Structure 1
């Protein structure tokens, strides 16, 4: 009878050991699958980010070219105005200096009035 009990106990221990191995394999599989899912998600995120970066750069290049053209036009207009102002200043420079010297060097005393 004790041989029968010991063989039954041994069978239970063997079954328990096999169950533990199955559980361990399931945990390893689950861990592996979680890692794979995380890697897949990370890869998808990187691809999505690269796609959106490319879309943004395309959008930016399309819209900044118009701004560059407007900026260049504004710079040309500003340069033209600056040259015009400099030419006008050179044209009347001698007269302005003469008028300033005359105003500074000529004294016109005025008596104070009684108010």
Structure 2
């Protein structure tokens, strides 16, 4: 009976070792699957990133002409406004200088309203 118990214990130990091997293989398989999933996700992210980058470049190149056209229009409008301001300055320059000189030269001496006349 002791031999039979010993053999039963031996069988249990072998079964336990076999179960530990299976569990270890399952863990290794799970770890490998996680690594593969991460690598695949990284690859998909990179592909998506490249696709969006190309899409952005295409959008940018299609709208680049619009930007230069708008800049040209703004430059032209600015130039026209500057020319109008310069013309206005030239036309009113003499009149403004004359008014300033007249105001500086024209002196109307008066007593201040708070000053009372002192009778001597």
Match of 1:105 in 2: 105
**Superposed counterparts of 1:17-96, under 5 Å:** 17-96=17-96
Residue 66 of structure 1 deviates from its aligned partner by: 0.6
Q: Take 1:43 and 1:101, find their aligned partners in 2: how far apart are those partners?
A: 80
Q: Take 1:57 and 1:101, find their aligned partners in 2: how far apart are those partners?
A: 63
Name stretches of at least 5 consecutive residues in structure 1 with no aligned partner: 110-115
Q: Take 1:104 and 1:58, find their aligned partners in 2: how far apart are those partners?
A: 66
Q: Take 2:104 and 2:92, find their aligned partners in 1: how far apart are those partners?
A: 18
More off after superposition, 39-48 vs 24-33 = 39-48
Deviations 1:16-50 (A, max 9, x none): 10111011111111111012102211221232123
Match of 2:117 in 1: none
TM-score, reference length from structure 1: 0.75
The size of the alignment, in residue pairs, is 109
Deviations 1:50-109 (A, max 9, x none): 322331232133224313311221112211321332144235423321232124423579
Match of 1:112 in 2: none
Q: Take 2:67 and 2:104, find their aligned partners in 1: how far apart are those partners?
A: 49
More off after superposition, 4-13 vs 53-62 = 53-62
**In angstroms, what is the RMSD of aligned CA positions?**
2.3
